[in-house]
Structure 1
């Protein structure tokens, strides 16, 4: 293993540049097309007020597109909107706005609770 040492001033400059890049990336997430936002099962169930079993039935029947990452399911907002439009989930459009709004808060909370290394 190689050990690299640098001056404290240089290290702080690198960290500052990384922070600028991270802030830019996070600010871009807020402006991206809401239809392309990925939400997890917990968010869908909580903010649309449906059961996990209902979501599981929709997946099993092939009625909703999703991504499975290590047993966690993620859905694009446009898929959830389609489910509402086709009345596969019987909720008003206000629920999708609630989902999007709360998703942004949920992401910020998770970002703030991540341990710093």
Structure 2
């Protein structure tokens, strides 16, 4: 293992630059199109008030597009809006607003937890 030492001033400058980059990235996430936000199955079922089995059935029939990452399914908000519009799931716009709002709060909370470590 190599040990690299740098001056305290240089280290602080590097950390400051990393913070600027991180803040820029996080600010870009806030302005992205909400239809492109990815949410997991738990969030979908909780806020749209549908069962896990209903969501699984929609996946199996190929009605809903999803991505499987690490054994967890993720869905785009735009895809869920399409399901609501086509009345393939029985929910309402208020539930969709709750999903988006609560997902943003959850994402910010996780981001803050990771930064604290």
TM-score range normalised by the length of the shorter chain: over 0.9
Q: Deviation per CA, 1:57-85: give whole Å up to 9, x if none.
A: 11111010000001011100110001101
Which residues in structure 2 correspond to 1:1-117 (within 5 Å)? 1-114=1-114, 116=116
- Point out 4+ residue stretches in structure 1 off by more than 6 angstroms: none
Q: Verify the 8 A CA contact 2:48 2:92 in the aligned structure 1.
A: no
Q: Say what the alpha-carbon RMSD is for the aligned residues.
A: 1.3
* CA distance in structure 1 between the partners assigned to 2:55 and 2:18 by the alignment: 39
Deviation at 1:115, TM superposition (A): 6.3
Which 5+ residue runs of structure 2 have no aligned equivalent? none
TM-score, with length taken from structure 1: 0.93
Which 5+ residue runs of structure 1 have no aligned equivalent? none
Task: Tell me the number of residue pairs that the alignment of Structure 1 and Structure 2 aligns.
Answer: 117
* CA distance in structure 2 between the partners assigned to 1:76 and 1:86 by the alignment: 16
